[in-house]
Amino acid sequence: MWNLQTPLLELIFRSAIIFAFLFVAMRLWGKKHFSELSPFDFLLLLIISEATQNALIDDDKSITGGITVIVTIFILNIVLNKMSFHSRKSEKLLEGKPKVLILDGKLDRDVMKEETMTEQELKTSLRKQGLMKMEDIGLAVIETNGEISVIKKEDTDFRNIPPS
């Protein structure tokens, strides 16, 4: 129960590699996937978690091995959070940056392509915020967490908004 079956350094190394791989994969997956998961996205995450569990601990079923993996992942997360907090370059690299989807009622299709977002997905998000027409939007931004922030034209002077 407490005796490691896999060497301690190997568990730490496995954890760091899997963490880094998943971090990059999630960044490539795109922001919009994190604001609302579809059933397919949820299923994908379940399968990834099962595959990750096997890759993390090898054949080690010990409590010590599990704790080692968890502590390693927490430490990596803390280090990345500190880096992001103390450095704007690190923050942009690790968390990405918000992107303008709509400015003055005009849709930026290039940003939509980058975020693999369909027009229907955008319209659904806008309707949830009570907006029916893109012409009424001064600014719509996809945030780093995948949520879409919207400011109506009537609520601000959108012409003075600096580019992101």
| Dist CA 54 CA 74 (whole Å) | 18
| 99-160: CATH topology | CRO Repressor (3.30.240)
Of 149 and 164, the structure prediction assigns the larger pLDDT to 149
| Residue 58 φ/ψ, nearest 5 degrees | 60, -130
The pLDDT tens digits of the residues spanning 99-113 come to: 999 998 899 999 999
Asked whether the beta carbons of 37 and 121 are under 8 A apart, the reply is no
Element (H, E) at 138: strand 137-142
Question: What's the confidence (pLDDT) of residue 160?
Answer: 61
Question: What's the confidence (pLDDT) of residue 75?
Answer: 93
The pLDDT tens digits of the residues spanning 38-88 come to: 677 777 777 888 888 878 887 888 888 888 988 999 999 899 989 989 998
Domain ranges for the chain, please list them: 8-95, 99-160
Token pair of 78, please? Answer: 């803390």
Token pair of 38, please? Answer: 């579809």
In the chain, pLDDT over 90 holds for what percent of residues?
24
Which residues, at least 6 apart from 80, have a Cβ–Cβ distance to it below 8 Å? 23, 94
Question: What's the confidence (pLDDT) of residue 59?
Answer: 80
| Dist CA 60 CA 56 (whole Å) | 9
